[in-house]
Structure formats: structure tokens, C-alpha cells
Amino acid sequence: MPPQDQAALRPNRPSNAALGFIGICFAVVGLVGIMASAIAPLPLERALQRQATLDAVLVAAAGADPASALEKLRTRLADSAAAILPKGQVGGLAEITARVAAERGAMLARFETEQAELTLRLRLLIGVVSLMGAGFGIAVAAMPRGR
């Protein structure tokens, strides 16, 4: 029986380097998923922190020196500061309580919108990266093995 070429007997499959590249495609998709799972809860965490700050505003408004205590909270209030502590106006406890209640609802609506936008962007990111990884993987797997 004549000796046969061993390469001709092997099936046409990708090289080890190509298989490694396919593995990297899967790894990139996985890393994007990990990144997305770390980013997704950020609006909720910010909303919880803002809720705690709004509670601190109510406590400070009921304290002995509300004007200075509320001014110290201004930076923690971020974009809620303008609604709760207008420049030059502190107001009484009832007025601040009403402002906090109104801002609480507005703040939650803003964070819900932010969460929806973030969720959509993360889903698109994961989808695009998954399709790119699959496309690269298919292209590499379809290449004949070099000799």
C-alpha cells in the first residue's frame, strides 16, 4: 500500500491559532457582559444615595440651624439642589418638606429614564459585540487550514 499524505487524511479544520482567536471572540463577549452587569445598577445606586440625601435634608431642616446645615448638603444634592434650596431662600420646614416631596418624584422619574436609556444602550452593545464575535468566529472557522 503506498504511503499517503497525512495532511490529506485530516479533515479540513481550523488551526490552533484560529481556534484561539475564536476563543478570544467568546471571551470579549463575556467581558462585555461583565462590564454591562457592573454598569447596569448605577442609576439605582445614585437614586438610593439621593434618597438618603433628601432624608438628610429633612433632618437638617428640622434642626437648630437649618440654613447652614442645608447649605452643607448642597453639593450632595447635585442637580436636586436648585429645586430644594433656591439661592437665597431657605424657607420653613413645611416649605422644605413640600419641595423635597416634589423633588423626590421628579428625581425618581429622571433616574427611571436614565435607567431605561442605559439598559437599551447596554443591550445594543452586547448585541453588536456578540454579532461581531460570531462573525469573526465564523470567518476564521471557514478558512482552510494552512499547510
Residue 133's pLDDT is: 87
Helix/strand/coil for 86: coil
Instruction: Classify burial at 86, counting beta carbons within 10 Å of its beta carbon; exposed 0-12, middle 13-18, buried 19 or more.
Output: exposed
Cell numbers standing for residue 56: 438628610
Residue 9 or residue 102, greater confidence = 102
Helices and strands in the chain: count of H runs, count of E runs: 6, 0
Residue 12 pLDDT grade (very low, low, confident, very high; cuts 50, 70, 90): low
Return d(Cα 128, Cα 123) in angstroms, integer.
9
Return d(Cα 31, Cα 39) in angstroms, integer.
12
- Segment 71-77 long-range contacts (CB within 8 Å, at least 24 positions apart): 77/50, 77/53
Where are the chain's structural domains? 24-141
Residue-wise pLDDT for 78-136, tens only, equals: 888 888 888 767 778 889 999 999 999 999 999 999 999 999 999 999 999 999 988 88
Residue 93's pLDDT is: 86
Residue 140's pLDDT is: 80
CB atoms within 10 A of CB 80: 22
Residue-wise pLDDT for 37-76, tens only, equals: 999 999 999 999 999 999 999 999 888 888 888 889 889 9
